[in-house]
Amino acid sequence: MRLNEKMAQTFNRYRDIIPDYEGFLTALEQPLPVAIRVNILKIGPGPFRDFMTNQGYKLEPVRGIEEAFLLHGIEAPGATLEYFLGYYQIQGLTSMLPAKILDPRRGEIILDLCAAPGGKTTHIAQLMGDRGLVVANDFKPERTHVLRSHIDRLGILSVLVCCYHGQAFPLRRKFDRILLDPPCSAEGTYRAGLPPILSENPKVARHLVRVQKELLRQSLAVLRPGRTLVYSTCTYAPEENEAVVNEALKDGEAELLPISLPFPHSKGLTSWNDESYQPDMVKAVRFYPHQVNSWGFFIAHLRKRS
């Protein structure tokens, strides 16, 4: 499948920041593999692999994420009995990283501010052993139906669902850790054959940046001092990534933490066009599909200063 001409033009502005740009374009023409996350609340990765192999599935382990597998030779991974039983969740490999980086602990109270459809929410609960509380918020009630269906299917009892506008999330409750995966232009989800994505429309892109900055501000306001927050998007646009995080860093409210990862990746940018960002921005990470055959992603790990 050839890359859409319009999308090739859109991505051209990243020519100087994406390493091996031609390799990046070639990767966009490849099909995306089906990645799944084992629901370790129901079955361990080893027994899951044995069970699925006995059932006739072809699984490939993913180095660096014990609970992740690539599922080969299957067109409808959401239509199996094993999926129905809640043994696994379909989730891109890079989408599994924000919850891993957040590193939630048993007993903690976590906020996932833009939670639907719930892949990361359920992963957080899973990493806590379903012990603690995860407040999963999404301002669109219809989107929380999908979130709830995953919670029910995976058998997670530690998630509370609410529907606040993220920018107006009540300040009276403070959290131990926060995941902020805001609405974004989703450039990282583009593969050849798919329709062009949101960044095609500058008005929409500008609106998203404003919303992202407001959401990050509100997230830091409800985070306990000294505690951590993960900001992630599935877009390449520095305006929605480094520029948003930079707002929180420049006034000294938060600091960036280093991220250790099992996959090849690139560092966050310290400048883009005429704008400069905090030197620490190199601690943020960028993923491109020719580095990891998954969604393009940006992740920053912040700590609110005490």
Partner 1 sequence: MPTFASEAERREILDYFSGRFGIPEKAFEGFCFLKGERKIWVVRDHPELEKILNQLKIDSAGIPLLRTKTSMWKPTTAGLHFFGRHATRNVIDLEGDALRAFLNRESIEGPFSLDPGFVIVRWRGKILGCAVYGKGRLRSQIPEKRGEPFRGKADAEETEGPSA
Active site residues: 234
d(Cα 104, Cα 132) in Å, to the nearest integer? 9
User: Per rule CB under 8 A, is residue 44 in the interface with partner 1?
Assistant: no
Among 1, 8, 74, 168, binds partner 1 (CB under 8 A): 74
Window 119 to 138, contacts with partner 1 (CB under 8 A): 130-133, 135
d(Cα 152, Cα 142) in Å, to the nearest integer? 16
Q: How many residues bind partner 1 (CB under 8 A)?
A: 43
d(Cα 287, Cα 279) in Å, to the nearest integer? 19
Among 5, 16, 75, 251, binds partner 1 (CB under 8 A): 75
Nearer residue to partner 1 within complex by CB, 73 or 202 = 73
| Candidates 11-19, 67-75, 201-209, 255-263; binding stretch for partner 1 (CB under 8 A) | 67-75
Nearer residue to partner 1 within complex by CB, 161 or 259 = 161
What's the angle, vertex CA 260, arms to CA 96 and CA 104, rounded to 5? Answer: 55
Among 7, 11, 36, 86, binds partner 1 (CB under 8 A): 86
Window 136 to 155, contacts with partner 1 (CB under 8 A): 141, 144, 148-149, 151-153, 155
User: Per rule CB under 8 A, is residue 170 in the interface with partner 1?
Assistant: yes
Taking the complex as a whole, how short is the minimal distance between the CB of residue 223 and partner 1, in angstroms?
15
The CA-atom distances, in angstroms, between 23 and each of 124, 176, 236, 288, 293 are: 33, 40, 16, 10, 12
Window 190 to 209, contacts with partner 1 (CB under 8 A): none
Per CB under 8 A, residues contacting partner 1 are 55-57, 73-81, 83-86, 107, 109, 130-133, 135, 141, 144, 148-149, 151-153, 155-164, 170, 172-173
